[in-house]
Every structure is written in structure tokens, then in C-alpha cells.
Structure 1
Amino acid sequence: MREEDINRCQIQEWYPKFRSASIKTIIHDLPETFVDYLLNDSGPFLLPVSILNDDALPNRVHNLEDEEDFVVLEGSDNEAQPISAPCFPELEMEIKASIESLGGAVFPKLNWSAPQDSSWISPTRSLRCTTFNEIALLLRSSDSLVNDLCHAYDSCNDKSASRPARFFLALRKWYPTMHPEMEFRCFVCNKVLIGICQREVTSFYPTLLARKPDLTMMIQQFFTEEVQENFESESYTFDIYVIGDERVKLLDFNPWGAFTLPLLFTWEELEEKLKEEDHDLEFRIVESNLGIRPSLKTAVPYDYLDTSPGSGWDVFLRNADEELRRQSNPTEAGA
């Protein structure tokens, strides 16, 4: 894995080239003061002061001294100087304008990642945001974004930096009617599309069984016409969404291996496919309720997980792979 392969997967790098094939996105260059705010894990959790009086958590306590249980005696060890919440007026106004131009609701992501692990803290339990402070809440609460901020190049054999020189915030138009079963991850190695699988592996979608042949041709065609000659890396993954009218929209690029989840594949299986002479494209879906997998969306990047022989993750993944093989073998599955 090289730094240039990681860098090509940053949304501010690939989106301008693939704008017509993707969903509408507005990208903001983040000031370093805001990056410092996201990384600051000392002291209390403070949301920025909104110059528009927008509050991501309207029922929260703004002044701890107003709480009956919060009492600090003068001269005590706990006495400290008041802490001021940060304020980013220019960035807030820019983001407000972008949200309005994108229809009033967006979902945010940094250079590589979205704050999926912090959706629980949002009042909507999703990444849907309508204000700057809602975006700040999700970003500040996310542990997985630390990979973008501090560890993006850890898997590179030519690592020369711990983080990119600049960070960007991508605001993507929110579509409330997107169906998770129509989102797929595609695996490309040496410029060849060798694997496709559904991204939402925690559910079984019967409709995918009948549509699998048509989806395979549709995604292969999209790769050939839109991606294959336009993305410069040799090996990578890309995520797509198939719209009801059978159009394909590009959602994201991710590096090959490293912190990218292989989902229904393993990286070892994908590497082995390259040794096959015909390089047949394999499309994997969850084919029954027995094949459902628990979510692998953790705060720890995939390449940080302990998958060594005998570890908890090793046992879990082996059991899941065995079930997937049983599904693929009707005789064994019916035994």
C-alpha cells in the first residue's frame, strides 16, 4: 500500500473527476482550528457556540452551574477557570449556505470516512444533518474518524507523514428514500473487477436473489464505462448505489486492504482470485437469514482488529465464512 493510493481515495481528490456519476456534494476546506477542536479529548465535551443559535442538542445543559448537582466550593481542588466553548462563525455560515443549496439536509464525511459510529448520538439516529452544530456533534463524537485524523497512512510501506496536510469536510445531499439493499462494494485488483457484494451484511434481502444477474451486468458496465480508465490506482474498492430506474451512482472509493472492510469476502480470498486464469467476477449476497452477519462497523479500523488465529474476531469470521460456504452449496445446506 502506497501513500498515493490512499490519497486518491480522498473525496476531494476523486469527486471533481466523477461528479457526473456521483451524488451532489459540496466540499469545504477545514481550518486547522476546527481540526484541533475535533482532536481535543481533554476537558469537557463542548459543542461550538452557534452564531445562528442552532443547537444540535436543544435539551442539553448549557451552563453546568445551573445544575443542582453541580456545586464547586471556593478554594476546593475542583475549582477551575471557566471554559469557553469554541466558535467558528465563518465556517458555520459557509456550511449553512451549502446545506441550503443541497436541499436542507446533508450527511457529512471527512477526507475518507463518515462518522457512522456516532449516529446514535444524533436525535434522528442517523447521519442526517440540517445545521453546523449537528455536523460538529457527529464529527466530535466519532472515534472512527481518528483514523482519518491521525492514522490514515499507517498501512503504507512508504509512510512519510501521519496525516494529510489539509482536511476537508464533504457535505453530501441527503436522500431519505435510499434502500440499503441497493448499495454495493466492488473490488478491483490490477484494474480488473473481481468481486461485488452487498454493503449491508446485517440483513437478508430476498429481492437481491432474483436481481443478481441483472445487477452483475449493470455494475460491470458501470465499471467499464465510468471507472476503469478514470481511476488511477491499480487496486482499490468503490461503493455504488443502484437507483430504482437502474442507474448507478458512485458513492466512494476506498483503498485495497488496510482499513477497508472486505464484508462478505476476506482479503486472502480476493488475493487468491488473482491467481486464477479467468478472473471470474464473483457477486456475493446474504442468501438467507442464516447468513446474516453482525455489523463490523467498529471504532477500530479493520486493519487494527486482532484477527490472529484463536482470537475472538478470528473465530467469528471463520464461523461466518463457513456459513457463507454452506449457503453456496445447496447439498450441504440442506443436509
Structure 2
Amino acid sequence: MKKEQVVNCQFSVWYPLFKKHTIKSLVLPIPQNVIDYLLDDGTLVVSGSENNNSQTQTNNSDSDEEDIQWTDDETTTAVTAPEFPEFKIRVQEAINVLGGCVFPKLNWSAPRDANWIALNSSLQCQSLCDIFLLFKSSDFITHDLTQPFLHCSDDSPDPTINYELVLRKWSELIPGAEFRCFVKENKVIAISQRDYTQHYQHIAKQEDSISSAILEFFRDHIQYQFPDEDFVLDVYRDSSGRVWLIDFNSFGEVTDSLLFTWEELTSGKNLTANQMQEDTALQDGPAFRYTTSEVTVQPSPCLSYRIPRDFLDLTTGEDAYKLIDFLKLGELIFSKYSFLTEPFL
């Protein structure tokens, strides 16, 4: 994978070429101070909030229940999020143009690993505050900002990147209708179910029609139109059978190979529709893989980015027994270290 291939997969590079075949979107340049804010681990307050732009941290409590004076400093420190008024106005105007709800991403990645932190567990955003919350919680976004050319094989200097906020009109996409196509030398060599963690019965029933529709869309609108001959293409097939372009990705390890391996995709060996199939001579067209039954369902790869389930159960009260155990543990710790609250002799 070359650095030029990564550059060509930026949204603002391919969107003008395929605008009529994809979801309506707007692209806004990101000021350097916003990038600095997104990369600042020390800024815990999310900027852009309409109602609460600051939080108060009190170093000394006046509560009668607290017996220990940990500090002589009785001042109150206000932690204020940085403000970006001009950028905020431009973002809100763009959101309004796109119908009030958007799907945000950077040049390459969307914060799919951070949807757990949103109140609606969704990537749907209605304000800059919503976007900042997702971006500052996402390793995918951090990768875009710090290591966009990771896994590139050439030693040439890194190209200069002008970072952009991509706002896509919010659309309710059915996960079972999304597919990833692997293109080598301008030929689709493999197609994978995008959400391979679930079993969708309609895919097996419509395998031929899905594959035919995707290949027809590729030949008519994508083939020889994209700047590179090796790339990864994400598409969506709606209920009427029409195929839509969703995204382009680099043909390399930085992109999730889903139900294939990159060894299979780069070498062409064992590139069959079924992982257990050995004879490729009888296969006509690209290898098409999908989750064939409930038995082969896998956990979502984004689960590793979420908070522990026990923490979630405690905060929501979904598991009363865990809450009881937690309270008992608190009592045990308090009784064991209660001497700390006694006056020193």
C-alpha cells in the first residue's frame, strides 16, 4: 500500500467524482486549534455545548460528613472548554442544510468505535457538541490525525494533509444491506458482508442478485473512474435493489478485511466464496462471503473500545446483585481503613 493510495481515499478526493451515486454530504476545513483540541488528552470538557460550557471542580467540601481537610486551598477552579464560535456556526449551518441530523467523519474514518459514549448509542449528531464527544472518544479519529500512513510501504515523506470535517446527511441504513468490495487491478475479486457479526437470512436467499447488482454498479460507475486500480469499496443495496456508494478505503492492512484475510486478498490463494471450499476453478466471478448461520455469529470488533459491562450495569441499575455486591465491598473497604478518619495522636 502506497501513501498516494491513502491520499486518494480521502473523502474530498473521491466525493466530487461520485457525488450523484452516494449520500449528500458537505465538507468543512478544520482549523488547527480544533485539531489541537481533539488531540488534547487533558481537556475533559466537551466544547460546543449549548447549555453547559464549563464544569466546576471544588477542592474543598463544606459537607459536615467530611472530616478530613485534604488541602488548605478553598478556592474553586472553573474548567472551561475552548470555544470555536466561527467554526461552530459553520458546522451548525451545514447540519441544518443536511436536514438537522448528520453522520460525521474525518478525511477517512468515522468514530464507529465511540458510539457507546453517545446518549443514543448512535453516530447521529445534531450539533458540534455531539461531534466533539464522539471524536474525542474515538481511536479511529486519533489514528486519522496522527498515523494516517501507517502500514504504507514507501519511504517517501508523508504528504501534507488538510484535515476536514465530513458531514453526511443522516440515513437509516440497514446493516444487513452493506457490503465491502475488494478491487484489485480494477476488478472486483471479493465481496464481504459488512456487518459480519450478525446472520441475515436474506443474503443467502438473494446472493446472486446482490452480487449481480454490485458488479453492475461497479462496471457502470466505478471501474476505471477511481484514481487507483487497487482499492476497497463499501456499498449499500437498498430495498428496491439500487446500489449506493458509501466509501472508499485503501487496499491494505489498515482496512478491515472482514470475512477474508489480507493474505488471501493479496495472493489470490484460497480466494473462494466459502472458507472451506478448495477448488477455485469452478468459481465464476468474485468470492462472496457472508455469515451463513447463527452458529458463526461473532462479537463486534468495536466492543473492545467500550466500558466494562459491570460498570454499565452498576450505573443503570440493570443488575441488582452487582449493586449489592458493590455496596458490600464499599462497606468492607470503609471498615478496613476507617482508622484514616480518626484523629492523629
Q: Work out the CA distance in 2 between the residues paired with 1:190 and 1:158.
A: 19
Name which of structure 1's ranges 79-88 and 262-271 shifts more when overlaid on structure 2: 79-88
Q: 2:28 aligns to what SS in structure 1?
A: strand
- Give the letter aligned to residue 291 of structure 1: T
Written as runs of structure 1 = structure 2, the 5 A alignment for 1:225-264 is 225-264=220-259
Q: TM-score under structure 1 normalisation? A: 0.79
Q: 2:8 maps to what in 1? A: 8
Q: Does 1:90 align with 2:65?
A: no
* Superposed displacement of residue 83, structure 1: 4.2
Per-residue CA deviations over 1:30-84 (Å, capped at 9, x if unaligned) read: 001101111111x24111154xx256xxxx98222399599984459xx897543
The separation in 2 between residues aligned to 1:192 and 1:67, in whole angstroms, is: 66
Aligned to 1:29: 29
Within-5 A mapping of 1:116-195: 116-161=112-157, 164-176=160-172, 178-195=173-190
Work out which of the residue numbers 279, 283, 290 in structure 2 matches 1:285.
290
Q: Could you tell me how far apart the structure 2 residues matched to 1:123 and 1:164 are?
A: 35
Q: Provide the residue aligned with 2:45 in structure 1.
A: 46
- Unpaired stretches in structure 1, ≥5 consecutive residues: 301-335
**Unaligned runs of at least 5 residues, structure 2:** 272-279, 306-345
1:309-324 matches, within 5 Å, as none
> Structure 1 residues 145 and 49 mapped into 2: Cα distance closer, same or farther (>3 Å)?
closer
In the alignment, is the contact (CA less than 8 A) between 1:187 and 1:196 conserved in 2?
yes
1:211 matches 2:210: no
Deviation at 1:138, TM superposition (A): 0.5
Assess, with a 3 A threshold, how the Cα gap between structure 1 residues 235 and 147 changes in structure 2: closer, same or farther: same
Residues 147-156 or 158-167, more deviating: 158-167
Q: In structure 2, give the amino acid aligned to 1:232.
A: P
Secondary structure, aligned partner of 1:265: coil
Cα pair distance change 1:170/1:100, threshold 3 Å: same
Q: Work out whether 1:266 is the aligned partner of 2:264.
A: no
The alpha carbon displacement at 1:184 in A equals 0.3
Distance apart, 1:241 and its partner CA: 0.6
Structure 1 stretch displaced more, 217-226 or 227-236: 227-236
Aligned residues: 290
User: Where does residue 339 of structure 2 map in the other structure?
Assistant: none
2:308 — aligned with what? Answer: none
Q: Is contact 1:152–1:162 with CA below 8 Å preserved after alignment?
A: no
User: Residue by residue, what CA displacement relative to the aligned partner does 1:171-199 show, whole Å, maximum 9, x if unpaired?
Assistant: 011113x2110000000011110111110
Q: Tell me if structure 2 keeps the 8 A contact 1:105–1:128.
A: yes
The residue type equivalent to 2:290 in the other structure is: I
Map 1:301-316 → 2, pairs under 5 A: none
- Aligned equivalents of 2:232 and 2:20: distance in 1? 19
Measure, in 1, the Cα distance between the counterparts of 2:60 and 2:239.
51
Structure 1 Cα separation of the partners of residues 107 and 194 of structure 2: 20
One-letter code aligned to 2:299? P
Higher Rg of the two aligned structures: 2
- Residue of structure 2 in register with 1:64 after alignment: 57
1:3–1:158 contact (8 Å) kept in structure 2: yes
| Preserved CA contact (<8 Å) 2:38 2:135 | yes
Deviation, 1:298, is 6.8
Shift of 1:104: 0.9
Distance in 1 (CA, whole Å) between partners of 2:45 and 2:79 is 9
Give yes or no for contact 2:100–2:126 (8 Å, CA) kept in 1: yes
TM-score normalised by length of structure 2: 0.77
CA–CA separation in structure 2 for the residues paired with 1:44 and 1:24: 33
Q: What RMSD in Å do the two structures reach over aligned CA positions? A: 2.8
Q: Classify 1:172/1:233 alpha carbon distance in 2 versus 1 (closer, same or farther; 3 Å).
A: same
Q: Is the 8 A contact 1:150 1:163 kept in 2?
A: no
In structure 2, relative to structure 1, the CA distance for the partners of 1:192 and 1:49 (3 Å cut) is closer
The CA distance in 2 between the partners of 1:108 and 1:20, in whole Å, is: 19
Contact 1:153 1:163 in 2 (8 A): no
CA distance in 1: counterparts of 2:90 and 2:237, whole angstroms: 31
Contact 1:204 1:286 in 2 (8 A): yes
Cα distance between partner residues in 1 of 2:87 and 2:193: 36
Change (3 A) 1:226 1:15: same
CA contact (8 A) 1:188 1:236 kept: yes
Q: Is the 1:29–1:169 Cα contact (8 Å) retained in structure 2?
A: yes
Q: Which residue of 1 aligns with 2:299?
A: 294
SS at structure 2 position matched to 1:62: strand
